[in-house]
Amino acid sequence: MLTIALTKGRILDETLPLLEGAGIRPEEDMRTSRRLVFATNRDNVRLVVLRGSDVPTYVKRGVADFGVVGKDMLLEVGPDDLYELLDLGIAKCRLMTAGPVDADPVVGKKRVATKFTEVARRFYAEQREQVEIVKLYGAMEVAPLLGLADEIVDIVDTGNTLKANGLEPRQWIADISSRLVVNRAAFKTENQPLMQLAQSFAEQLGQNLGGEN
C-alpha cells in the first residue's frame, strides 16, 4: 500500500490533476468530503489530507511514502530524513518580510511575528539583525496592525492580503512552490510502485527525478 500525504487547501486542488494524470482518482471528492483518508481507484494507493506543517512528520516517520508540501514548510522543518524528488511547480508564491507602509524606523529590537520561526531566525541572523520572534499560527498580517509586531515573515502571492491590511512587502526570503518528498530510507529500498508513481509525476512535468535537497 502506498500512502500519499497531501497538503489541504490550494496545494490539494493543484495536486489532484497531477494524480489524475498518473491514473489515480480518489473515490470521493476530496475538496468537499470531511473524510481525511481516501481510497482510490488503485487498490494499492491511498491519499491522506493533512495540514502542511504535519506532512513532513508523516513522511519522515515512514507512515506516508510520499508527501506533497510547500517548500516553505520544508525550509521551516529542515531536510532531515526527506528527499525532495520533484518541484511540482504548483502553489507558487514567495516568502517575504513585510511591514506597515511608511513605517517609522524601529527603536530597539525589532519584533517579528511569524509561523515560520526557524526561517525567520536564520534570515535575520544572516542579515546580522537582532530581532525578537513572536510565534503565531495564522493571520500574521494582524500583528503589525495591532502593535504586536513591527514586521512579519509570511507567504506573499498576489500581495492583496498585505495591501488590504496596510502592509507592504520588504525583503525577499525565498521562492516557494510545492514539492514531492519521499522518506530517505524508503527511497533507498528501490520500492518499485513508489518509483513508478514518482516517474509518472516527473514525466507529466517534463522533469527528471531529483533526490537532492
Each residue 84-123 as x (binds ligand PRP by CB under 6 A) or -, in order, gives ----------------------------------------
Give the one residue of 103, 134, 155, 202 binding ligand PRP; rule: CB under 6 A: 155
Cell of 154: 509570511
Rg, the chain, Cα only = 19
Minimum CB distance to ligand PRP, residue 146 (Å) = 16
DSSP-based three-state secondary structure for 43? coil
Q: Which residues of 83-113 are buried (b: 16+ CB within 10 A; e: fewer)?
A: bbbbebebbebbbbbbbbeeeeeeeeebbbb
Nearer to ligand PRP, 158 or 192 (CB): 158
User: d(Cα 154, Cα 167) in Å, to the nearest integer?
Assistant: 12
Among 102, 158, 190, 212, binds ligand PRP (CB under 6 A): 158
> Does the footprint of ligand PRP cover residue 192 (CB under 6 A)?
no
Nearer to ligand PRP, 84 or 154 (CB): 154
The reply on whether position 166 binds ligand PRP by CB under 6 A is: no
Of 54-62, 103-111, 119-127, 150-158: span binding ligand PRP (CB under 6 A):
150-158
# residues contacting ligand PRP (CB under 6 A) = 10
Smallest distance from ligand PRP to CB 37, Å: 22
Strand ranges of the sheet holding 167-176, from the earlier edge strand across to the other edge: 131-135, 110-114, 151-156, 93-100, 167-176
Closest CA to 114 of 91, 93, 143: 143
Minimum CB separation of residue 177 from ligand PRP in Å reads: 14
Per CB under 6 A, the list member of 161, 171, 177, 191 interacting with ligand PRP is 161
Any bridge partners for residue 111, and if so which? 132
For ligand PRP, the binding residues (CB under 6 A) are 138-139, 154-161
